[in-house]
Chain A
Amino acid sequence: MRARTLALALCSLLAACAASGSDPLTRGASATTELAVGTTDVHALPLQGERRRAAEKFGDAPLLDQAGRERRVFSELVRDRVVVVSFVYTRCQGSCPGTTANLVRVRDLLGERFGRDVTFVTFSLDPERDTPSDFADYAARHGITDGWTFLTGGKERLEELRKDLGFYDLDPVIDADRTQHAATLIVGNEPRARWMHVPAALPAEALVRAIERVAK
């Protein structure tokens, strides 16, 4: 605790320096990612202040991607990146197909920036039924290949993520009703500790503008 306290005192300076030379939109997403090898504890990462807070929200407990591989969420998919986060489930007949279709349009508008400067992460709202192969089919159906990770796994982990990331309703009745789930996206710039959310149904052009604003 004391060490963290001391480190925090320096955090804003260090963080500002760290960020100053690196514009996430012009830098490969694969750039220096210091993985805390062999651990799934984000507290082992050398991050401070508000970046640490976001790291704690995403966590590193692994989830399975559409290829069935274990992925550490924060370290592998969020850290040092500009990300667009969504929650869907493959059997969804409500807002999800629209959300995904809209994100496909955003991907197309982003062109070559997609996958390089901006990546998409989609979490399952129905992890008890969504399997990695369901998501593989789902991605294929929407013409989705690289740069977009679909994650499913333990129900508790995904529920916690959903709530930590603000995809919930304070009214427990609405929150329990999957058809009324939050049709929003998070757009985040991890190195800047800059996060916002946007309605998933915004015109794709407006979503691109939001991504550009956050990525600055």
Chain B
Amino acid sequence: MHALARRLRGGSHAGAFGVAVKSRARVTARPPFVRGLDPRVPPELYTAARGASDAPHQGLHREKEKGMNRRDLLRLSIIGGGLAWTQRRPLFAGPLARPFDDLPPSPTTTPFVTPLPAPPVLTPVAPFAAPDVTFPPQAVNAPTYYKIISEERFVSLHPELPPTRMWGYRDANVANWPYAVGPTIVARAEHPIVVRHENQLPANHVGFGVPEETVHFHGGHMEARSDGFPESLPGYTTVFGPGEHYDYGYAMLDPGFSHGAPDASDRPSTLWYHDHLLDFTAQNVYRGLVGLFLFQDELDTLDETTGLRLPSGEFDVPLAFQDKRLDDQGQLAYDVFDHNGFLGDKWLVNGAIQPYLNVKRRKYRFRLLNGCNARFLGLRLVRQGGSIEPFDLIATEGGLLSAPLRNRNLAFLSPAQREDIVVDFARYPAGTVLFFENRLRQDDGRGPSGTFDQPELLNRGPRFLKIVVGADAPDPSVVPNVLRPFTAITQAEINAATRRTFEFKRRNGVWVINGQAVDLTQPMATVQENAPEIWRLKNGSGGWWHPIHIHLEFMHVLKRNGQVPPPDERDGIAKRDVITLGPNDEVEVFLKFRDFRGRWVMHCHTIEHEDAFMMMRFDVV
């Protein structure tokens, strides 16, 4: 209650919002939105009501939360969010809420009948010879060895559907892996690991996806040959086919270690690993070659009685959000001729369609991953009845924040982005039902409607996960006011930095960086190891969005469109490994490529754009 009072007193935004909400809380009969219209579809189809729907879909007749910019949205009080809700159903379920490719809509399924899967943690194997892996001399701890098998398997995505043929990673110690997501790797700071990936994908596969692999440790800081370079080059083999294996070595050392300056504040939190095969990453990732990777150290101990005492164990839940499309046999559908960016109409968390999770009345850490190919997410935690509920943001791709950003109500996640949040379910009586809902409107692979500052958020959206609050439970966990502090880049370093500009653009049906389609045989940029760099990432492609991922190092965001970036990406508070470029955005990031020389890539992580050549190689020398 005092939180409410504080916000009403202190915030002109809360007041303004309250008024705005009242005047806008009605369903307006707006004409169909023009931007998403497909020239192939006769206009009358757009007003046809959608058929049976298993979940609220994005529709054109929903109100949007207008008149606020991104910062306002983040500042909204919970009461404001509550007022924003209207119980009224839209007049129509939405004209053709599915995207405009040639795939029919997925079969309907009953939501929230299957429990949230928890893909188990990868278990070690006996040490084996891995002659290709090189660990630096600073890696003094003995490595732990793991084996992962990639295979074709049939997975139940929903109890009402036949098993779905997928590709996926499996712990070699486990014979049967009934999950659509691979094992979760947990690695400890300064404890190197070796992961052998064995390719057992079907050599004679028919369908989308290519049974060759190169595994990218997304967000990792490791030797170049273990990064998952997308293409084998003469004398540099990184791709392995059916029947072959590849050993990956992750030193898990602090960036800067080779220069006598290991930076323990530059440690990650939630990472993932996925296939990165040139031209076919979208197809292979969509087939299921995805797994999570969690980081552990003396602060983030994964034990809520030690270190920072963040919620841990069964109260630390990774949530991989994905969208997929299924045919009438429950098999994955994908339009290989569409390169705009795949959008699904089935909402999966950890590989299950619309699962549920029973929670205790206490704090939980959720590690949110946007594992979609091209769908951006604007996730809200919504209480049944409509109020938007708050959470604390504690980490982004670049690890724990300096300090938590409290009372947030929107997790905006571009493809491949992660955010760790803490939700306190002790606020709710037993029996309370909540949902993770995607409120962001997106009609095609161009990206969401609106801008980065002002994304178009609807007042309903598809529900990925249902959460049911249960009994009380002891809660020794805390969200401390200080997490993993780090200092912002100094002016001296900024002055010393080499500046480069990369423009991301569409030209004649191809996505290019500085005018060039991907060519991994030569670097577009050659950077000095351990030297400061400022990269200006510029979106020159009209209405398209591009989430830009740079390998090897986290980015310190200095400026967004010439302004101080919002707190969740601002240097000194957060680091990122994927930067969202909304239409015409320009973002300045600071980078220092330390410790590992070799070939790396930067690319758009809307994976269809990446495969359509929006990727460049840079070499660290």
Chain A interface residues toward B at CB < 8 A: 5, 8-9, 12, 15-16, 18-20, 49-51, 53-54, 56-57, 95, 160, 163-167, 169-172, 175, 180-184, 186, 191-199, 201-203, 206, 210, 213, 216
Contacts and interface: CB of A to CB of B under 8 A. Distances in A.
B208 A50 contact: yes
Contact of A5 (B210, B328, B543): B328
Contacts of A169: 506, 509
Nearest to A191: B206
13 contacts: A8-B327, A9-B162, A12-B165, A15-B206, A16-B202, A51-B206, A57-B337, A165-B337, A167-B509, A170-B445, A183-B510, A184-B510, A196-B280
Contacts of B444: 170
> Most A CB atoms within 10 A — which of B205, B509, B521?
B509
Interface string B323-335: 0000111010001
Contact of A171 (B519, B521, B543): B543
Given A12-B207, A182-B508, A197-B612, 18 more contacts: A16-B204, A16-B206, A18-B206, A20-B204, A49-B331, A50-B208, A51-B206, A56-B102, A164-B337, A170-B446, A182-B510, A184-B508, A192-B207, A194-B208, A195-B336, A195-B337, A196-B280, A198-B613
Nearest to B328: A5
Contacts of B454: none
Interface string B500-511: 000000101110
Contacts of B327: 8
Contacts of B446: 170
A160 B611 CA distance: 24
A19 B582 CA distance: 43
Given A8-B329, A57-B102, A201 B210 contact: no
A194 B210 contact: yes
Nearest to B341: A170
A165 B521 CA distance: 28
B279 interface: yes
B206 A19 contact: yes
Contacts of B336: 50, 54, 193-196
A16 B152 CA distance: 13
Nearest to A210: B279
B40 interface: yes
B36 to A, nearest CB: 9
Interface in B136-168: 162, 165
Interface of A is mostly: helix
A199 B207 contact: no
A197 B519 CA distance: 15
B279 A184 contact: no
Interface of B: 39-40, 102, 162, 165, 202, 204-208, 210, 279-280, 327-329, 331, 335-340, 444-446, 506, 508-510, 517, 519, 521, 542-543, 611-613
Contacts of A170: 340, 444-446
B59 to A, nearest CB: 20
Contact of A50 (B206, B506, B521, B611): B206
Contacts of B613: 198-199
Contacts of A196: 279-280, 336, 611
A202 B517 contact: yes
Nearest to B446: A170
A128 B291 CA distance: 51
Contact of A166 (B162, B204, B338, B506): B338
Contacts of A20: 204
B340 to A, nearest CB: 6
A172 B327 CA distance: 29
Contact of A163 (B40, B331, B517, B611): B40
A192 B508 contact: no
A101 to B, nearest CB: 16
A213 B510 contact: no
A172 B39 contact: yes
B510 A171 contact: no
B542 to A, nearest CB: 7
Nearest to B443: A170
A101 B102 CA distance: 32
B510 A199 contact: yes
B40 A193 contact: no
A21 to B, nearest CB: 9
A167 to B, nearest CB: 7
Contact of A180 (B207, B210, B508, B611): B508
Contacts of A191: 206
Contacts of B210: 194, 213, 216
A160 B39 CA distance: 10
B337 A49 contact: no
Contacts of A50: 206-208, 336
Contacts of A95: 508
Contacts of A198: 279, 613
B207 A183 contact: no
Contacts of A195: 208, 336-337
Given A171-B543, A197-B612, A192 B510 contact: no
A203 B521 CA distance: 11
A8 B333 CA distance: 13
B509 A5 contact: no
> Most A CB atoms within 10 A — which of B165, B331, B611?
B331
A193 to B, nearest CB: 5
Contacts of A9: 162, 329
A19 B508 contact: no
B235 to A, nearest CB: 16
Contacts of A18: 206
Contacts of B508: 95, 180-184, 199
A203 B522 CA distance: 13
Contacts of B206: 12, 15-16, 18-19, 49-51, 191-193
Nearest to A198: B279
A170 B338 CA distance: 11
B207 A49 contact: yes
Contacts of A16: 202, 204-206
Nearest to A8: B329
Contacts of A15: 206-207
